[in-house]
Every structure is written in structure tokens, then in C-alpha cells.
Amino acid sequence: MPDPTRVFISYSHDSEAHTDWVRQLGDRLTRDGLHVELDQYVHPWPAEGWPLWMEKAVEKADFVLVVCTPGYLDRYRLADPAGGRGVAFEGTIITQTLYDAFGRNHKFIPILPETGRIDDIPLILKRGNHYRLWRDYDNLYRVLTSQPATPRPSRGPVKPMPPKPPGRPASASDSSPHRHHPRWLLVATLLLAALLAFAWTQRAEIQTHGDQSPVIQGDIQNSTIQIDSRKETP
């Protein structure tokens, strides 16, 4: 049987109610099959001392849940010298670990209470996802246990695609401007039809009044030419 996922919870003792809330989180994760390291589970204190215990707990953990509150952020930034030193020490370990990893992070996960603010998350942890409890507990549990909601399907074989039939060779007519300008061709066709209609009308008029055309008479040998304009006898 594989070893359970190891989870360390980093938090600040803001109040008794907040401390109880963190313990409830640790209890629930433990009941759901994870190995949780929490200072409240150590009694009375670690033999190696709290600083070394925290360092080992962060190092051995597969995931570190960082419970972000205004008090935690102040101590993480060393802005609350009167507060507990545990968060300041853990914050130093977290920052140094991410610094050594060039900022790549899949281990340190920001956790917000229901009324928590995103601005309470340390800047170095804002690049990844955060989870608001308890509404996001199932999503967090999926991450801790490597059970994605939408797993990638198994890759199937490559689908064969039949080749396309060879196309018709290009001809000179394919590049004709008329082929690419149907409107221009339509206009030209209409103009040609109008010209043919006009020519037909003129021809019919000439045939109707042909008797009034002048008649040329002459003697080619004597170079005598007479023009007689015949008129239709009424």
C-alpha cells in the first residue's frame, strides 16, 4: 500500500476560534486518508525543538497548506514583531524554497477562510490557485490526492485520412478576368445586346425606305455619269 499524501498546515494563532477551525481542517483531511502534520497534534513539544520540527515538516510534506489571514500575512512579512515567531520562520522557509526553485510551485497552496481576502495571500503565492473553505474542499481534496475532475482521455491511434483526388489542371481561362468578375461580364453582355438591337433597327429602317435611295447611272466607256433620283409614284 503506497504511503499517504503528507500535508503540513502553516497558520497563525489569530484566535481560539481560528485555531479550532484549523484543527477541524486537519481532522477532516486525516479522516479522508491523508497524513497531516499540525502543531496541535504534537504533545507536549517536539524533542528536536519547534524550529527544526517546522523545517522538517515543510521539507517532507508533499503539500503545504498556507492558511492566509491578515495576522498571518503580517507575521510572514515580519511586520508584527509582537506576534508569534512560528509563521515568520515558516514564511522564510517557504520563500527560500520557492526562490531555489526559480518560483515554480506545486507544493504551497494558499487557503482562505470563507470571509478571507485574496489580498491576505503572500505575493509569492498568488501565482497559483487558492481555495476557499469550506466551499472548495472537494476541489482541494482532488489536488491533494491527484484526482482531477476532468482527466485526460487515453490517446487512441492516429486516424488514417484518404488522399484527395487530383484536381483539374489549371488553364488560361482560369486566370481570365471575366472568370473572377461576373458583374463586369454581365454588363458587357448587356451592352453588346443593346448594340446588336440598335444595328438591327437601323437595318430595318434602311430596307423600308430603300426606294428613295439615289440610283447611279452612267456610261463607263464615255465617262459620263448621271444621277437620277427616283421617287415613288403616288
Nearest to 34 by CA among 8, 71, 16: 8
Residue 207 inside a domain? The answer is no
Cis bond upstream, residue 184 (ω within 30) = no
Q: Which string of b and e fits 115-127 if b means at least 16 CB within 10 Å?
A: ebeeebbbeebee
Q: What length is written for the chain? A: 234
Compute φ and ψ for 166, nearest 5 degrees: -65, 140
Q: How far is CA 82 from CA 50, 76, 85, 90, in A?
A: 18, 13, 9, 16
What pLDDT is recorded for position 173? 58
pLDDT, tens digit only, all 234 positions of the chain: 678 999 999 999 999 999 999 999 999 999 999 999 999 999 999 999 999 999 999 999 999 999 999 999 999 998 877 767 889 889 999 999 999 999 899 999 999 999 899 999 999 999 989 999 999 999 999 999 999 999 999 999 999 999 988 877 766 555 555 455 567 778 888 888 888 888 877 776 655 555 554 444 444 444 444 444 444 444
CB atoms within 10 A of CB 25: 23
What pLDDT is recorded for position 195? 84
Residue 157 inside a domain? The answer is no
**Distance between CA atoms of residues 211 and 147, nearest Å:** 106
What pLDDT is recorded for position 182? 66
What pLDDT is recorded for position 81? 73
Give the CATH number, domain containing residue 33: 3.40.50.11530
Residue 138 inside a domain? The answer is yes
pLDDT in tens, 150-192: 999 999 999 999 998 887 776 655 555 545 556 777 888 888 8
Residue 125 inside a domain? The answer is yes
Domain ranges, residue 110: 6-144
Decide: residue 134, CB within 10 A, 0-12 exposed, 13-18 middle, 19+ buried: middle
What pLDDT is recorded for position 176? 54
What pLDDT is recorded for position 38? 96
First to last CA, the chain: 130
pTM of the complete model: 0.66
Number of domains in the chain: 1
Nearest to 66 by CA among 146, 131, 127, 15: 131
Residue 219 inside a domain? The answer is no
What pLDDT is recorded for position 230? 47
> Which residues have a Cβ under 8 Å from the Cβ of 125 and sit 6 or more positions away?
66, 68, 94, 105, 108, 110
Residue 12 inside a domain? The answer is yes
**Distance between CA atoms of residues 210 and 203, nearest Å:** 10
Residue 196 inside a domain? The answer is no
Residue 104 inside a domain? The answer is yes
